[in-house]
């Protein structure tokens, strides 16, 4: 196995911080992990699946950009989906994010991901700025309900994002190693 280097910075989550900083630290760590796994790859590499799976790193970047929009922009803030998600016919292709990524350039994929993360961070900063007691900030209920019509708290959303990203980071580790043998990114 080989070890590659990445220009994408990644900060370890804090080991002694309040719950908000800890959860955001883990989400940020895994966001950077995904970007590092995709860093320096060609368009062909980003589009290459590892059979029998059809999952690609290109699809993963676009899927996670969509996940950012759904959980922070739509559910937490109550906004309509941002472009391009606002015009997708999900009934025609429920995996549109994964499938359409194969037509995008690496620059489009990383810009879309980075833009979605930046938008999520702005939303989180706005939400947290309006809470006088940081200890209760995570108890805020999202504007829109989640699965099965349940009210979700900011705590649940952040924990879910840690789960979503950590699961896909494991997939990304395997995909990257299969592409070029790189490990320890």
Q: Using one digit for the tens of pLDDT, what is the confidence trace for 9-66?
A: 888 999 999 999 999 999 999 999 999 999 999 999 999 999 999 999 999 999 999 9
Please say whether the beta carbons of 65 and 92 come within 8 A.
no
Listed in sequence order, the residues at least 6 apart from 55 whose beta carbon sits closer than 8 Å to its beta carbon are: 49, 98, 171, 175
pTM: 0.94
At 118, list the tokens.
Answer: 């930046």
Rounded mean pLDDT, 65-85: 97
For position 4, what pLDDT does the model report?
63
Q: Are 154 and 71 in contact (CB under 8 A)?
A: no
Whether 89 contacts 78, CB under 8 Å: no
- Residue spans of the domains in the chain: they are 2-183
In whole angstroms, what separates CA 82 from the centre of its chain?
15
Asked if residue 2 has pLDDT above 70, the reply is no
Residue 182 CA, chain-centre distance (Å), reads 21
What integer pLDDT is reported at residue 1 of this predicted model?
46
Among 88, 81, 33, 19, CA closest to 61: 33
- Looking at the domain 2-183, which fold is it? 1.20.120
Tell me what the mean pLDDT of segment 67-91 comes to: 97
In the predicted model, what is the mean pLDDT of residues 69-88? 97
Average pLDDT over residues 102-115: 97
């Amino acid at each position: 196995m080989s070890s590659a280097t990445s220009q994408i910075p990644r900060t370890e989550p804090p080991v002694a911080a309040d719950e908000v900083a800890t959860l955001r630290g883990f989400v940020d760590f895994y966001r950077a992990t995904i970007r590092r796994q995709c860093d320096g790859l060609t368009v062909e590499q980003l589009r290459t699946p590892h059979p029998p799976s059809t999952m690609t790193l290109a699809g993963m970047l676009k899927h996670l950009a969509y996940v950012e929009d759904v959980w922070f922009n739509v559910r937490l803030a109550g906004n309509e989906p941002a472009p391009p998600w606002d015009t997708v016919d999900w009934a025609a292709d429920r995996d549109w994010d994964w499938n359409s990524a194969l037509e995008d350039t690496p620059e489009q994929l990383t810009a879309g991901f980075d833009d979605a993360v930046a938008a999520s961070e702005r939303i989180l900063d706005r939400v947290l700025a309006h809470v006088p007691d940081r200890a209760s900030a995570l108890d805020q209920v999202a504007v829109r309900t989640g699965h099965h019509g349940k009210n979700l708290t900011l705590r649940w959303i952040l924990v879910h994002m840690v789960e979503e990203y950590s699961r896909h980071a494991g997939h990304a580790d395997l995909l990257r190693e299969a592409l070029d043998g790189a490990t320890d990114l």
